[in-house]
């Protein structure tokens, strides 16, 4: 068996851990091509599922894997390889093998996990993009899970900031999930890496995502939760990061927003409250981007000065989404005036139309 075939076989072997892989290579005197031979298997204790598979591999599945590896340019990274990310290797249950599309070196770069709601507020999505761009400029690789919402916004922000980003999938790398992020996945592959412990053709099953989350946490110096409901899957990533001795950060929000409750609970439990990207960088002892020395003008300061009524409308809107009826009641302005003023403010990028007929201020 050649080295690539041996990698494909070991990567697909169920229940195989890093310890098992090390034992197999030890018995084979470091020769990967002999690590799955009958003589080696007789010397190493393995789980029944792993032993049975290695004794009678699924030849069709392995042939398909090798064809996909050859056509896609993906690589298999074993936990015994020198390029395997050291931080991930330190975590309990680190996968014995990773499939990687893109830069293997990106997996060993200093990383920050950014995760959150799949259905964030407009402000939450913008915050994720803005923070991720700052982190990218500071030299941090932004790592997330390619999900809709905060994950996608974090990847996009890192790319906009000219940095690297890593997406960890809960499916095989040949099955991008969600499909809406296929174009984003291609950009990530070109400026970072797509990673999965799941073999090609693995569907995005529900039980795969906690396993994906442990890789996100394990690769990173810390995890920043941007928006999360009380029982969000993002909290699993935060818990796994804490259990691995990594920093956990959370951005607070409105006490009235369900998407703030998960972050507030994390802060109660000891996560570090974050108001700006510099808070995270300081905690991780990473220098601020050079442009931070002379703060750029904000969108609000660059925009035209507003008339008194527009200022009154923005004050009435505050920082909580509100419907037009609520704004009419708060300002005593005619509904037609409020509607036209909201349209102007939306065109200026000061407010955003949200679901349910509500409007919210853009930070």
Tokens of 168: 């960890």
The pTM score is 0.84
Least confident residue range of 97-101, 175-179, 334-338: 334-338
Specify the higher pLDDT residue, 324 or 293: 324
Domain borders along the chain are: 1-64, 105-293, 299-361
pLDDT > 90? residue 260? yes
For residue range 317-337, what is the model confidence (pLDDT) as tens digits? Answer: 887 788 999 999 999 999 888
Least confident residue range of 3-17, 209-223, 291-305: 291-305
Q: What percent of the chain has pLDDT over 70?
A: 95
Give the whole-angstrom CA distance, residue 164 versus residue 176: 19
Domains 105-293 and 299-361 share a fold: no
Of 1.10.10.10, 3.40.50.2300, 3.40.50.450, 3.40.50.300, the CATH number of 105-293 is 3.40.50.450
Q: What pLDDT is stored for residue 304 in this prediction?
A: 59
Q: How confident is the model at residue 350 (pLDDT cuts 50, 70, 90)?
A: confident
Asked whether 150 and 120 are in contact (CB, 8 A), the reply is yes
pLDDT > 60? residue 300? no
Q: What pLDDT is stored for residue 167 in this prediction?
A: 98
CATH 1.20.120.80 is the classification of domain 299-361: no
pLDDT > 60? residue 220? yes
Q: What pLDDT is stored for residue 294 in this prediction?
A: 39
């Amino acid at each position: 068996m050649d080295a690539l075939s041996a990698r494909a076989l070991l990567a697909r072997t169920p229940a195989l851990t890093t310890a098992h892989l090390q034992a197999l290579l030890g018995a084979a005197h470091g020769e990967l091509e002999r690590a799955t031979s009958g003589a080696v298997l007789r010397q190493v204790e393995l789980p029944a599922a792993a032993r049975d598979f290695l004794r009678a591999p699924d030849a069709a599945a392995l042939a398909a894997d090798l064809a996909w590896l050859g056509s896609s340019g993906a690589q298999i990274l074993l936990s015994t390889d020198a390029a395997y990310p050291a931080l991930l290797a330190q975590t309990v249950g680190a996968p014995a093998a990773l499939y990687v599309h893109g830069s293997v070196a990106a997996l060993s770069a200093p990383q920050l996990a950014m995760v959150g709601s799949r259905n964030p507020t407009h402000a939450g999505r913008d915050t994720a993009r803005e923070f991720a761009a700052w982190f990218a400029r500071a030299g941090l690789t932004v790592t997330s899970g390619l999900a809709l919402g905060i994950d996608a916004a974090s990847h996009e922000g890192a790319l906009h900031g000219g940095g690297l980003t890593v997406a960890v999938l809960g499916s095989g790398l040949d099955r991008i999930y969600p499909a809406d992020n296929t174009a984003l996945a291609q950009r990530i592959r070109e400026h970072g890496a797509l990673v999965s412990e799941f073999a090609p053709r693995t569907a995005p099953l529900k039980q795969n995502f906690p396993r994906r989350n442990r890789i996100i946490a394990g690769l990173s110096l810390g995890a920043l939760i941007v928006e999360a409901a009380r029982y969000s899957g993002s909290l699993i990533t935060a818990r796994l990061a804490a259990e691995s001795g990594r920093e956990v950060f959370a951005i607070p929000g409105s006490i009235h927003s369900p998407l703030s409750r998960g972050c507030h609970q994390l802060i109660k439990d000891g996560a570090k409250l974050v108001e700006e990207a510099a808070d995270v960088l300081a905690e991780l002892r990473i220098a601020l981007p050079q442009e931070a020395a002379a703060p750029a003008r904000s969108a609000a300061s660059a925009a035209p000065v507003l008339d008194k009524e527009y200022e009154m409308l923005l004050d009435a809107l505050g920082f909580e989404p509100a419907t037009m009826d609520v704004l009419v009641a708060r300002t005593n302005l005619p509904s037609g005036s409020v509607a036209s003023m909201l349209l102007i403010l939306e065109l200026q990028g000061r407010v955003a139309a949200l679901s349910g007929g509500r409007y919210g201020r853009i930070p």
